[in-house]
Amino acid sequence: MKTIDELIAEGVNGKRVFVRADLNVPLSGTTITDDGRIRAVQPTVEKLVAAGARVVVASHLGRPKGAPDPAFSLAPAAARLGELIGADVAFATDTVDESARATVAALEDGEVAVLENLRFNPGETSKDDAERGAFADRLAELADLYVGDGFGAVHRKHASVFDLPARLPHAAGDLIATEVGVLKKLTENVQRPYAVVLGGSKVSDKLGVIDHLLERADRILIGGGMAYTFLKAQGHEVGSSLLQEDQIPAVLEYLKRAEDKGVEFVLPVDVVVSGQFPDLKAKAPTEHRTVPADAMPAGFIGLDNGPETNTLYASKLADAATVFWNGPMGVFEHPDYAEGTRAVAQALVDSSGFSVVGGGDSAAAVRTLGFDENAFGHISTGGGASLEYLEGKTLPGLAALED
């Protein structure tokens, strides 16, 4: 695929360049709680600005239902982008209508505008090719060139990701080029031992990647809410913990395949439990205790890995040459249940291997817990996209950028 540097070399001065970014940042009201995804696209925007392009940045945020919703406005993200690049950023209050057309028309060379949330238009996410294509046609009227740099959305067959590149000369931004390069290190000629850490709430979200990695990884460490389905599959009591009972047959199959293939499958040996889920806003101290993973009391909720598990997982990561981590080990947003996630992050920092933090909650946890992002090999901006790439799937947004 063509790079942004090649596109710039061909000349972008005075041209309108549509940058499909991923500004899907977490918000508390109108306050951005983690601006990592905005900072990730900043180099591409600044490179285009320096080359004299008229930059039109577009993204989704959250899951509005195809209509304007103030709770999902990109206005805060536009303001933050302006702060980061040190320049005024214009903001269009719609996607392709009067405000978008006027805002883009008013741009001078080297200026930047952000369009309102693309998902405010039903055409962005439509499964109907004609409806999606019609929206892509209207977006194409706003630009001369296209740069795909929203890695967190490349696994979606959406108008701005999949259809629009076919309508304009296109290239991959620096972020996408970096992300793809990193993922190739996890799939091609991988340095071993290769350890994978998977957490988060649902086993079902990770089934595809577990299936694929059983053929590639040397060790798979499981934590977070999904661990309790594995523990239940082994016949253990899991109390009121997160459980996907319908996934137990698949889990048992994976455990058997791992054993047959010599892949080490590592599960928690102790867990931190409480009688109720914590208040994540107040973050007040809670009553909790640590119990063996095979002796959880009925009625209690598993909320984090215990200290023995943290030590075990650190030992399994210490000699790894390659580590991929996706999903927190517990309810890291509350200080009583953050130690499992902190332990994995610290193990990656201490390791001399190449470590990849796979986006989403894991990336947020790294920043929330105060780790230096530069201490990791790479922090991805796209958890879902990373997982689908590792599953071996074709990602529509990447396919659209290839000529």
| 359 known member of a binding site | yes
| 310 known member of a binding site | no
Residue 306, CA distances (Å) to 231, 236, 300, 325, 338 in order? 14, 16, 15, 18, 10
Catalytic residue among 37, 80, 157, 219: 37
| 20 known member of a binding site | no
| 133 known member of a binding site | no
C-alpha neighbours within 13 Å on the C-beta side of residue 82: 15
| 383 known member of a binding site | no
| 132 known member of a binding site | no
Q: Quick check: 203 and 247 in contact, CB under 8 A?
A: yes
Give the number of other Cβ atoms within 10 Å of residue 236's Cβ.
16
In this structure, is the dihedral angle defined by the CA atoms of residues 16, 21, 27 and 31, taken in order, positive or negative?
Answer: negative
342 is catalytic: no
283 is catalytic: no
| 73 known member of a binding site | no
Cα separation of 379 and 345, whole Å?
Answer: 11
| 62 known member of a binding site | yes
Cα separation of 196 and 216, whole Å?
Answer: 10
Bond preceding residue 193 cis, omega within 30 of 0: yes
Q: Measured between alpha carbons, how far apart are the two ends of the chain, in Å?
A: 6
| 361 known member of a binding site | yes
| 65 known member of a binding site | no
Given phi > 0 = left and psi -120 to 50 = alpha, else beta, which region is 282?
Answer: alpha
360 is catalytic: yes
Q: Quick check: 128 and 93 in contact, CB under 8 A?
A: no
| 61 known member of a binding site | yes
Catalytic residue among 150, 152, 327, 384: 384
Catalytic residue among 152, 360, 383, 397: 360
Best CA proximity match to 352, nearest among 320, 378, 325: 320
Cα separation of 389 and 235, whole Å?
Answer: 33
| 305 known member of a binding site | no
| 23 known member of a binding site | yes
| 374 known member of a binding site | no
Catalytic residue among 202, 257, 367, 393: 202
| 37 known member of a binding site | yes
Question: Any idea which residue has 């740099």 for tokens?
Answer: 149
| 149 known member of a binding site | no
202 is catalytic: yes
Catalytic residues: 37, 202, 360, 384
Binding site: which residues? 22-24, 37, 60-63, 119, 156, 206, 302, 333, 359-362
Binding site for (2R)-3-phosphoglycerate: which residues? 37, 119, 156
Binding site for substrate: which residues? 22-24, 37, 60-63, 119, 156
Binding site for ATP: which residues? 206, 302, 333, 359-362
